[in-house]
Structure 1
Amino acid sequence: MSIRLLLGTALRVLTQVRHDRRTIALILTMPTLLLTLLRFVFDDRLDIFDQIGLMLLGVFPFTSMFLVTSVAMLRERVSGTLERLLSTPLHKLDLLFGYALAFAILATAQASVATAVAYGLLGLRSQGAIGTVLLIAICSAILGSCTGLFTSAFARTEFQALQFAPLVVFPQILLCGLIWPREQMAPFLRLVGNVLPLRYAVGALSEVSTFPEPTTLMWRDLLIVIAFAVVTLVGGAATLRRRTG
């Protein structure tokens, strides 16, 4: 890989996004608006909001970045931009990691806004530090971006890209422990949940909810989230076909 080419790719993507104000607004506001809605849904049970809202700081950024990234990457494929880039000396990993870096920056901004609003304006409380929550939320958002980059290879239209959301996102939400404790699920569902990355992001946030200091289990879950992100990104590179002319 070339750092220069990787950074050049990331800068190009960020420049494109900067001119798309609607996308920026979607990235920065969607998780925050959903958390605000949830806060007033549980207006009389703030203890429930503290528990569910904290977990959703991992779920919402993952979901929104998955949708934005998969559609954006598909546009690059359909428009022929990727084909033209792959006819140059640009390596596939330079390209994918450049995209990942650009969307990681956007994911960091999104998670930072959502976490700041949740704790500063909505009154979210947890045993662990805000900085730890922010780190997990950022990693979850980056995971969503990497997953979106990977799944975009299997779609031909934006509508098809959006159809991957029920297939990729919804099962993870159902099996991550947000809706129902994983310990009370059927054994085969727990096994399925163990190979879904969002389960580990939610697990790490659950540790922060319970313990004032980062635990070994929290760090383990966070490392698994990062590993999933890297694997999906490399898998995305494998779907790209280099052009020689």
Structure 2
Amino acid sequence: MTPARTLATAGRVLSQIRHDPRTIGLLLVVPSLLIGLVAWIFTDTDVFATIGPAMIALFPFIVMFLVTSIATLRERRSGTLERLFSMPLGKGDFILGYALAFGLLAIFQTAIAVSWAVWVCGLEIEGSIWLLFAVAVSDALLGTALGLLASAFARTEFQVVQFMPVLVFPQILLGGIFLPRDQLPEVLQAIGDALPLSFAIDALTAVADGSEDAAWIWGKVLVIGAWIVGSIVLGSITLRRRTP
């Protein structure tokens, strides 16, 4: 794995996305629109003040997971990946290049989503807005990394969607969005506490209400980072050249 090949892969991916306005819209606009819809639904209540940080975690995470996994899988199904691997390009170069490309898009996506939630939807933030942005970026990168991992195992786009009940839905149900995790049955609470999206939701909520200090929040970000690195490494190890 070399930096030049990794950066070349990232540049190629960004060039492809630049010519796909629908994907750009899905990545950059849809999460903010969904956050705005939730804020609108609860416009006359205080509910959005409570669940708003979780929405910042949820929608970019789901969108990044779907787009990254499907885009990566199409490279393999079309035979592009096999042709790339006939050149001096390793699996690590490919996976990390995709992670860098979609990671850059995740930064723009997060900047739009956080700005929309705070300055348009009226989400009140007691802590640092920059810390909120940092946690939100790590959450979007988590969706990217898990999407890359799912694409390494899936054979079709439909199978990618089938991975959502395995990798995404349990994190939503057990992340504390619908019911605080300390009110869940003991086993489910233990599982929920270990899932990476829970760390993002906890950190974003803590920044929003100012309930924890920066050191505690950065500790959550480090755990999310460990999940990101682990997913990318596992994805590069298990990636196949071509779908059978």
Question: Under a length normalisation based on structure 2, what TM-score does the superposition of the two structures give?
Answer: 0.95
Distance 1:39 1:18 in 2: 30
Distance 2:218 2:50 in 1: 20
The within-5 A match list for 1:40-189 is 40-45=40-45, 47-189=46-188
- 1:14 corresponds to which letter in structure 2? L
- How far 1:217 moved relative to its partner? 2.1
Map of 2:202 onto structure 1: 203
Distance 2:159 2:90 in 1: 27
- How far 1:220 moved relative to its partner? 1.1
Map of 1:34 onto structure 2: 34
Map of 2:8 onto structure 1: 8
Distance 1:5 1:214 in 2: 40
Asked if the contact 2:60/2:110 (under 8 Å) is kept, the reply is: yes
- How far 1:224 moved relative to its partner? 0.5
Asked if the contact 2:118/2:125 (under 8 Å) is kept, the reply is: no
Distance 2:100 2:126 in 1: 31
Query: SS of the counterpart of 1:128?
Result: coil
- 1:162 corresponds to which letter in structure 2? V
- How far 1:166 moved relative to its partner? 2.3
Asked if the contact 2:152/2:238 (under 8 Å) is kept, the reply is: yes
Distance 1:11 1:99 in 2: 9
Asked if the contact 1:132/1:214 (under 8 Å) is kept, the reply is: no
Provide structure 1 residue ranges, at least 5 long, that are not aligned to the other structure. Answer: none
- How far 1:52 moved relative to its partner? 0.5
- 2:172 corresponds to which letter in structure 1? I
Asked if the contact 2:152/2:240 (under 8 Å) is kept, the reply is: no
1:59-85 residue CA offsets vs partner (Å, 9 max, x unmatched): 111111001111101101101111111
- 1:227 corresponds to which letter in structure 2? A
1:111-143 residue CA offsets vs partner (Å, 9 max, x unmatched): 111111111111111211211111111111111
Asked if the contact 2:153/2:239 (under 8 Å) is kept, the reply is: no
Q: Which stretch shows the higher mean deviation, 202-211 or 106-115?
A: 202-211
- 1:127 corresponds to which letter in structure 2? E
Query: SS of the counterpart of 1:194?
Result: helix
Asked if the contact 2:32/2:113 (under 8 Å) is kept, the reply is: yes
Provide structure 2 residue ranges, at least 5 long, that are not aligned to the other structure. Answer: none
Query: How many residue pairs align between the two structures?
Result: 242
Map of 1:25 onto structure 2: 25
1:169-199 residue CA offsets vs partner (Å, 9 max, x unmatched): 1110111111110111111001211331101
